A and B are shown apart, each in its own frame.
Chain A
């Protein structure tokens, strides 16, 4: 057989560089870099993803009514940014399903990478495009009736990232629990994503909503994130609203990582 004439496997030739303990941040960076590498190698796919929120904005923004104070875009854009984060981060787990099936996830579980870093690194992979998308959206809308307040946008970006890490981790947990059944993941993801979106007041204000709807909106952490983003993107820093957004995002992040790590420990 010809295949037996492979070169001798001299695999212990180089000086042995031993495996060394790594910290959480290094591990998270390793995971993030690994996740981003295939995307960086195919910039076209990234470009397409960048365009998506613009399409949404272009088709939806013309329908917005004029509001009394400030432009409709000023109200609408921060919501679109949070929506983009929700859509992106909630799909974190979809890639995981493929990796669980192929076996590469198992290899990472046996590697020295810490469990939380696997979660956070993967969730951050969804944050990076969200931040780029935000930049693209802002670059497009600023020439129109939108005032750019860079300081507020940067603080807003931190809150959205935190929120996305939490969502990404929860999505990861969902994919782990769903194992190799794609449909379970997608059914649950779709079932949760739209109530979260509608109840947060991204698309329509909930001011005139009936009491029960207002209540559901009040217990939706995304509502607070959206409100904080709206204030920050207008260059305002109302302490209660910004803190509310921060706390809501931090709670989602903490919950996500906690649930994610527990699910991972149980599943393997």
Chain B
């Protein structure tokens, strides 16, 4: 890891835009993205299916050209210097990098040849990667006989072969069982600790939350939030739910809470229940309960929920990420 704090960003985009035209209808998949990602960052693009995450990734990895705007990866323009970008990056797509009829070791070697790495150096690197991803045993078997988790590890090994400046992962854990997903996240975390710059897309909230130092929330082709998961959630605040014996009590309590609490607070009363969204609500809830009891409107039930990234997404868009992910999948299924 370098100690230069004022170096050029590894990824920089300016007004990056991509349109698709399907049956005479123009879809603005990515709309004017301005982004800077520094060396060593671990960034997650979070958003529902069709939000523009993968399209952004495909532009950054030279798979598709932008409609307008510019992007630089590892100091190279993604349109004018495609070859240089391709030499500097590693890419783990949604599918498998190794063809099913091939053997893992052969695919690693073909990747090394594609990068012009001499045979001896390539062999050493391949052995090192096979050891790092616990694949020695499976390297000489046809890829189609490997398990999903083994294939995913092989994908990452292939993506890392050229010591990339940036590793891109597109929905890396889709299709993996929970155990393999945890395993994969552990691998990604270690790569990050080694200093690799990592950019991944995901529509799993838990994944973005557990992994990424920085979460970029994308919806309808624009960035709607860009911060650490912790700060995104802190800003939203905890949800405190209070139940009362009567509606009158609830109304009184809601008014009292409104005057007592400071900061960006959201209070709502439905029937005998009052919901309060407030920063560090877990800390203020006990005092609040005592205060309300002292003023003759005791709460008879209390729940405190720490915010999730889904709450953040809901707050930003008015939709739940889970719901929109599901509905998009359904629409896609219907269209196919």
User: What's the minimum C-beta distance from B53 to chain A, rounded to whole angstroms?
Assistant: 16
B96 CB to nearest A CB, Å: 5
Name the contact of B124 in the complex, choosing from A11, A14, A34, A103 (C-beta under 8 A).
Answer: A14
A-B contact pairs, 27 of them (CB 8 A): A1-B183, A4-B183, A6-B134, A9-B187, A11-B128, A11-B194, A12-B194, A12-B196, A17-B125, A17-B163, A18-B162, A19-B87, A22-B113, A33-B113, A37-B103, A98-B99, A98-B101, A99-B99, A104-B98, A104-B102, A107-B91, A107-B98, A111-B86, A111-B115, A112-B83, A112-B87, A112-B115
Determine if A108 and B128 form an interchain contact, defined as CB atoms under 8 angstroms apart: no
Q: B86 contacts A268, CB within 8 Å?
A: no
Candidate in A4, A6, A7 with the most chain B CB atoms within 10 angstroms? A6
CA distance A69 to B186 in the complex (A): 76
Main secondary structure of the interface of A (DSSP, over half): loop
B131–chain A nearest beta-carbon distance, Å: 7
CA of A257 to CA of B277, assembled, Å: 62
Please tell me if the beta carbons of A107 and B97 are within 8 angstroms of each other in the complex.
yes
Residue on B nearest A20 in the bound complex, by CB: B116
Query: CB < 8 Å: which of A6, A30, A41 contacts B113?
Result: A30
A145 at the interface (CB under 8 A from B): no
Contact pick for A17, options B111, B113, B118, CB 8 Å: B118
Q: Is A4's CB under 8 angstroms from B182's CB?
A: yes
Size bin of chain B's contact surface: 35 or more
Tell me the complex Cα distance, A249–B122, Å.
38
Assess whether A26 is interfacial by the CB under 8 Å rule. Answer: yes
Residue of A nearest to B90 (CB): A110
On whether the beta carbons of B64 and A268 are closer than 8 Å, the reply is: yes
Q: B102 and A102: CB pair below 8 A? A: no
Q: Known A17-B121, A34-B102; judge A7-B87 contact (CB<8 A).
A: no
Task: Please report the C-alpha to C-alpha distance between residue A30 and residue B108 in the assembled complex, in whole angstroms.
Answer: 12
> Out of B93, B122, B149, B194, which one reaches A106, CB within 8 Å?
B93
A33→B102 CA distance, assembly (Å):
12
Check: B129 CB closer than 8 A to any chain A CB. yes
CA of A3 to CA of B128, assembled, Å: 20
**Smallest Cβ-Cβ distance to B191: which chain A residue:** A9
- CB of B61 closer than 8 Å to a CB of A: yes
Interface pair A13/B93, CB less than 8 Å apart? no
How distant is the Cα of A19 from the Cα of B122 in the complex, in angstroms?
11
- Specify the chain A residue showing the minimal Cβ separation from B187: A9
B101 CB, nearest partner CB in chain A, Å: 5
Cβ contact of A3, chosen from B87, B107, B183, cutoff 8 A: B183
**Other-chain contact of A26, B93, B97, B116, B186 (Cβ < 8 Å):** B116
Contact with B along A94-137 (1 / 0, CB 8 A): 00001101111011111111100000000000000000000000
B117 within 8 A of A: yes
Interface residues of A in 13-60 (CB under 8 A from B): 13-22, 26-27, 29-30, 33-34, 37-38, 41
Among B163-213, those with CB < 8 Å from A are: 163, 179-180, 182-183, 186-187, 190-191, 194-196
In angstroms, Cα B181 to Cα A4, docked, is 10
Contact between B163 and A1, CB atoms less than 8 A apart: no
The answer to whether B186 and A4 touch across the interface, beta carbons within 8 angstroms, is: yes
With both chains docked as a complex, state the minimum distance between the C-beta of B298 and any C-beta of chain A, in angstroms: 44
Bound CA span A234–B264, Å: 92
Interface check B89, CB cutoff 8 A: yes
Known: A17-B118, A27-B114, A104-B97. A109 touches B183 (CB 8 A): no
A187 in contact (CB, < 8 A): no
User: Is A209 part of the binding interface, using a Cβ–Cβ cutoff of 8 Å?
Assistant: no
A11 B160 Cβ-Cβ under 8 A: yes
Q: Judge whether B118 and A7 touch: CB under 8 Å.
A: no
**Inter-chain contact A110/B96, CB cutoff 8 Å:** no
Known contacts A20-B117, A22-B116, A104-B99; is-contact A109 B63 (Cβ 8 Å): yes
Judged by a CB distance under 8 angstroms, whether B34 is at the interface is no
Rounded to whole angstroms, the CA-CA distance of A103 and B97 in the bound complex is 6
Nearest Cβ distance between residue B92 and chain A, in whole angstroms?
Answer: 8
**Which of chain B's residues 109-149 have a Cβ closer than 8 Å to chain A?**
110-111, 113-118, 121-122, 124-125, 128-129, 131-134, 142, 149
Residue in contact with B101 in the complex, picked from A14, A27, A38, CB distance below 8 Å: A38
* Residue in A closest to B140 when the chains form the complex, CB atoms: A41
The minimal Cβ–Cβ distance linking B134 to chain A, given in whole angstroms, is 5
Complex formed: what's the CA distance from A268 to B83 in Å?
16
Please report the C-alpha to C-alpha distance between residue A114 and residue B103 in the assembled complex, in whole angstroms: 23
